[in-house]
Amino acid sequence: MSWLRAVGLAFAILFVPAVAAMADGNKNAVHKDTRLSPFYLQMPRMAVAVPVAGTEASRQLEVEMWVYMPTPELIGKLSSRRSVIADVIREKMKKNSAQTYLAAEEGPALVKEIARDAVEAEVGKDVGEEILIKSMIVR
């Protein structure tokens, strides 16, 4: 067998299953984030217009986060209510100025506090410090 056929065969063995999985719509089959516990649930990406203090202007706040729930039952409950929880979080985030979110320590802490309160109100479980912020951008 020539080296060209060997390279083609290696390509087919390595990459065709990944492409087929993506074509089926299963995007997680190739890029699965294994660093997080299966008990973390990703919340919907939230984008909110927040006011700039002292002006009538606003800036865009975008947040991506995960919430930890210790049991499969609570994961199911959180999963079924996550769009409602995301709406509550969006409404609460609108009440603070962009400068608050731009502060290095206070901004992420405030977002976690808002998310924690919303999750606890909907699910009825104290999540403590188990909220991970993947990204938080003020544009």
Answer whether residue 17 shows pLDDT above 80.
Answer: no
Tell if the pTM clears 0.75, that is, is over it: no
Q: What is the pLDDT of residue 125?
A: 74
Q: What is the pLDDT of residue 74?
A: 87
24 and 74 in a single domain? The answer is no
19 and 44 in a single domain? The answer is no
Q: What is the pLDDT of residue 20?
A: 45
47 and 10 in a single domain? The answer is no
10 and 51 in a single domain? The answer is no
Residue 80: CB atoms within 10 Å: 11
53 and 108 in a single domain? The answer is yes
Q: CA–CA separation, 40 vs 132, rounded Å? A: 9
Tokens 């660093």, residue located: 35
Q: Kindly report the average pLDDT of the chain as a whole number.
A: 81
70 and 126 in a single domain? The answer is yes
Q: Which domain holds residue 7?
A: 1-32
Say which CATH number the domain at 72 has. Answer: 3.30.1130
Answer whether residue 130 shows pLDDT above 50.
Answer: yes
Domain total of the chain: 2
Tell me, what DSSP letter sits at residue 69? -
